[in-house]
């Protein structure tokens, strides 16, 4: 069945630094979604990418969808303490939405 892997599982970042989390699917996706879950909260939708090679930005967050529509990345610049949380990607194929294991981001002030 469809599998979605995320790396790294944990990311310790110094405040002000940049980092990237990666998402890889075992199958071609129709779209990929990204979610953020703050500590103690529930996942909240951030963005959806649909087109091959698509790049979208939200302030300091840059999302990319691979040319083959099997991988994606989230790059955060100038990390802030408000970026703390777990970031999940979710790949959509057919009628299934499969979540990756998430990248838990810890920020060192």
Partner 1 sequence: KAGVTQTPRYLIKTRGQQVTLSCSPISGHRSVSWYQQTPGQGLQFLFEYFSETQRNKGNFPGRFSGRQFSNSRSEMNVSTLELGDSALYLCASSLVTGAQRTEAFFGQGTRLTVV
Footprint of partner 1 on this chain (CB under 8 A)?
30-31, 33, 35, 42-45, 48, 50, 88, 90, 92, 94-102, 104
Rank residues 77 and 92 by Cβ distance to partner 1 and give the closer one: 92
In this complex, which beta carbon is closest to partner 1, that of residue 20 or of residue 101? 101
Query: Which H or E element spans position 75?
Result: strand 71-76
Report, in Å, the least distance between residue 41 CB and partner 1: 8
Pick the closer one to partner 1 by CB: 33 or 64: 33
In DSSP terms, 44 is beta-bridged to: 36
């Amino acid at each position: 069945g469809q599998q979605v892997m995320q790396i790294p599982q944990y990311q310790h970042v110094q405040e002000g630094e940049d980092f990237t989390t990666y998402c890889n699917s075992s199958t071609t996706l129709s779209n990929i979604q990204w979610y953020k879950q703050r500590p103690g909260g529930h996942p909240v939708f951030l963005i959806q990418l649909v087109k091959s090679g698509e790049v979208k930005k939200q302030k300091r967050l840059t999302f990319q969808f691979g040319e083959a529509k099997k991988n994606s990345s989230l790059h955060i610049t100038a990390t802030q303490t408000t970026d703390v949380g777990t970031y999940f990607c979710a790949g959509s194929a057919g009628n299934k939405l499969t979540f990756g294991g998430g990248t838990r981001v810890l920020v060192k002030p």
